[in-house]
Amino acid sequence: MSPTLHAYTSIILVWWSVSPLSYLFATVWFFIWLRQHGISLIFGLTGTPGYMEYRYWVWCARHGVTPSRTLWLRMRLLLLVNVLLSCIFAFPILSHQFHD
């Protein structure tokens, strides 16, 4: 007989599974936006947190543009923190589930 999950456990596991997807979608959107504006990127580094933001700030400085995407940059930071927090909360649940 398999143990049942509590409601809070299910909520945390759903949060843990959805939070990386939200960060991934924001990353893909930002990547597409940067490429449409002619910002060159090294594809292998686009998954590194902070790389695309750095390239955006460099592009703004070179072109004398005021960074207008700071709201999106803040949102990406919050989504990254969300992923880390979901992992911290889900780790004890997952380790307990596989330990038994």
> Quick count: other Cβ atoms within 10 Å of Cβ 79?
19
CB 59 within 8 A of CB 39: yes
Label residue 1 by pLDDT band (50, 70, 90).
very low
CB 34 within 8 A of CB 52: yes
What one-letter code names the amino acid at 84?
L
Residue appearing with tokens 């580094």: 45
Backbone angles phi and psi of 42, in degrees to 5? -90, 115
Residue range 67-81, pLDDT digits in tens: 776 777 888 889 999
Tell me the pTM: 0.76
Residue range 14-43, pLDDT digits in tens: 999 999 999 999 999 999 999 999 999 999
Residue spans of the domains in the chain: they are: 27-90
List, as one string, the DSSP characters of 24-91. Answer: HHHHHHHHHHHHHTT----GGGTTSTTHHHHHHHHHHHHHT-----HHHHHHHHHHHHHHHHHHHHHH
CB 79 within 8 A of CB 26: yes
